[in-house]
Structure 1
Amino acid sequence: MTLKKVITVLMLVLISVSSFAQAKKLDKIITKDYQVIECTISKMSDKTVDYSMPNETMTIVIDVSKIARIDFASGRSQTFATAENTIDSAPTSTISVSANSNATFRVNTVAVLPVPFVNSENMTNSEEMAKFAQNDIYDKLLDKSSNILPLTVQDLRTTNSLLRKAGIDYKNIDETPIEELHKILGVDNIVAAKVSYTVTQNQTSAAYSSQNAKVNDNKVKANESTVANTNTQLLFDYHVYFDMYKNNSKIYTQNRKPLFKLKDAWMDSVSYLLKRSPIYVK
């Protein structure tokens, strides 16, 4: 084998080894404060996990109490205790909201507020759509519960019941300080959204002509008729506002206009913003 062939073979081997190293899957540690650590885990115990960062040999130790879930490179996942199943050991406090309402504060719990659905032309607010949009966000969070660990979602009945006792509904939810909402609902995380919209009509017209020829007394007589057809399409121009709060502080705020002007287009924008929020782990 010539020297040139030897060098070619060595280069191919080095490229293969490099590609294999780059393709190596990493473990993922998802912490309870929403951080995702891509690493290689070398050791685990009941209290700690040892890991190293890519291309590093230094060992880092993290307490198990700070971990929500580990997604191993093998494809296996291990979920650690969350607020829901450690509620007895987690510190709780009772906050007096009013004479008729008490809420127990629960850590790592997220509440979804009613969503004001406002026609920006006449400023009318739809109660049905406010509840429907709230349900839509709630269902999306439940459906992706594994992506929002360690958070658990407060039941909508509980949320709406506490708001109603405090005299708050979809009409005045925007006017209530977020600090007060945290106390009323007894949660440390809140999802607040708002949808404004306008509706316009798009009309398209088309005309169709036809001719009929008749022969009477060796004379040709033509009759012409025209049929007009008008189609009306409703166009919905939405603007979705999306905020998240944690412990009285805003941790995420975005807004988005759907690309298409369809009746349910706002739902796609909600999904888009939710998946890019800091509580959502891919």
Structure 2
Amino acid sequence: MKNSKLFFIVFLLLATFFGFAQGGKKLDKIIKRDYQIIECTISKMSDKIVEYSLPGETIQISLDVSQIAKIDFASGRSQTFNVSQTNNSSSSGSPAIASSEMKTNTIAVLPVPYLNSDTQESSEEMAKFAQNDLYNKLLDKSSNILPLTVQDLRTTNSLLHSAGIDYKNIDETPIEDLEKILGVDNIVAVKVSYTINSGTTATTYNSGNAKVSNDNKKVKTNDVSTTTSSTQVYYYYTIYFDMYKDGSKIYSHTRKPFLAVKDGWMDSVTYLLKRSPIYVKK
């Protein structure tokens, strides 16, 4: 009788153990840079992508390493992905790009995301143009921002490119990491968001020749009217202007241009720059 009870208890323990082992399998955890957590089973890692499958599924999903902040493996090991490793790191987690030498009192101009808020489309051409415009504004006002000097735009973009950062993912990168990559202690970050509307205006012009009758009492006219129409495109901008020093935000302002014209954002950037804490009137 005792043996039967002992056998039954052992059977229950084994059943519980195997049931837990099968249904409670530990999973890997991917923590993305946007703080989303993915519980999964990682099957493959490279210097560019991580492949994984979700619980109960066999489909393999690929995720770019640039979107990952950390991985907690089921084995208990953790791996952190630094910004300097983005698109250039090895599966062992060793950084491939070192931080640049710090240049004090230097300000860098980041690429300017130029986003159509209706379509969510970004323009690479305008992002570069806006960055170059802001860079030139700082150079023109170099005497007003002393003791700061402006880092050469080619240097900034080259360092960002080496780290796998461009106008599309610049907002996802912490300022502290950007300062290390660029080797500067000051950063200006601008973003341009816009919508486009159009309107049609019709204008009518009247012209005619007056004729006077012989009795000087009646006036006859031959009226001619011409109507022309034109289409006007309106640009409604929102400018986000931020400045950072030693990793801390020292100035943040949002402005909407008064005139809905194509280049309206440029005047707003100038306006905000002149009111930033780095600018001194002379």
Structure 1 and Structure 2 fold alike (TM over 0.5) = yes
The residue type equivalent to 1:251 in the other structure is I
Equivalence map 1:36-185=2 (5 Å): 98-100=95-97, 102-185=99-182
Aligned to 2:62: none
Instruction: Give the Cα–Cα distance (whole angstroms) in 2 for the partners of residues 146 and 115 of structure 1.
Output: 24
Instruction: Give the Cα–Cα distance (whole angstroms) in 2 for the partners of residues 181 and 147 of structure 1.
Output: 25
Aligned to 1:270: 269
Aligned to 1:89: none
Q: Using the TM superposition, name which of 226-235 and 258-267 deviates more.
A: 226-235
The residue type equivalent to 2:133 in the other structure is D
Q: Per-residue deviation at 1:206?
A: 2.5
Q: 1:247 to 1:102 in 2, by over 3 A?
A: closer
Instruction: Give the Cα–Cα distance (whole angstroms) in 2 for the partners of residues 147 and 258 of structure 1.
Output: 24
Aligned to 2:237: 238
Instruction: Give the Cα–Cα distance (whole angstroms) in 1 for the partners of residues 205 and 277 of structure 2.
Output: 56
Q: Per-residue deviation at 1:224?
A: 8.1
Contact 1:111 1:187 in 2 (8 A): yes
Give the secondary structure class of the aligned counterpart of 2:128.
helix
The one-character-per-residue Cα deviations of 1:169-196 (angstroms, maximum 9, x if unpaired) are 0011011111111111110000000010
Aligned to 2:183: 186
What is the aligned-residue identity percentage? 66
When the two chains are superposed, the root-mean-square deviation of aligned CA atoms in Å is: 2.5
Matched, 1:261 2:246: no
The residue type equivalent to 2:262 in the other structure is K
Q: 1:141 to 1:210 in 2, by over 3 A?
A: closer
The residue type equivalent to 2:112 in the other structure is V
The residue type equivalent to 1:151 in the other structure is L
Matched, 1:251 2:250: yes
The residue type equivalent to 1:130 in the other structure is A
Contact 1:101 1:165 in 2 (8 A): no
Give the secondary structure class of the aligned counterpart of 2:177.
helix
Contact 2:99 2:180 in 1 (8 A): no
TM-score by length of 1: 0.59
TM-score by length of 2: 0.59
The one-character-per-residue Cα deviations of 1:99-158 (angstroms, maximum 9, x if unpaired) are 145511111000000000101110110111111111111111111111111111000000
Instruction: Give the Cα–Cα distance (whole angstroms) in 2 for the partners of residues 100 and 248 of structure 1.
Output: 20
Instruction: Give the Cα–Cα distance (whole angstroms) in 1 for the partners of residues 106 and 125 of structure 2.
Output: 26
Instruction: Give the Cα–Cα distance (whole angstroms) in 1 for the partners of residues 241 and 120 of structure 2.
Output: 19
Structure 2: gaps of 5 or more residues:
1-83, 86-94, 210-220
Q: Per-residue deviation at 1:210?
A: 6.8
Instruction: Give the Cα–Cα distance (whole angstroms) in 2 for the partners of residues 179 and 121 of structure 1.
Output: 31
- Size of the aligned set, in residue pairs, is 182
Q: Per-residue deviation at 1:205?
A: 1.0
Contact 2:99 2:182 in 1 (8 A): no
Contact 1:111 1:191 in 2 (8 A): yes
Instruction: Give the Cα–Cα distance (whole angstroms) in 1 for the partners of residues 147 and 206 of structure 2.
Output: 67
Give the secondary structure class of the aligned counterpart of 1:103.
coil
Give the secondary structure class of the aligned counterpart of 1:278.
coil
Give the secondary structure class of the aligned counterpart of 1:231.
strand
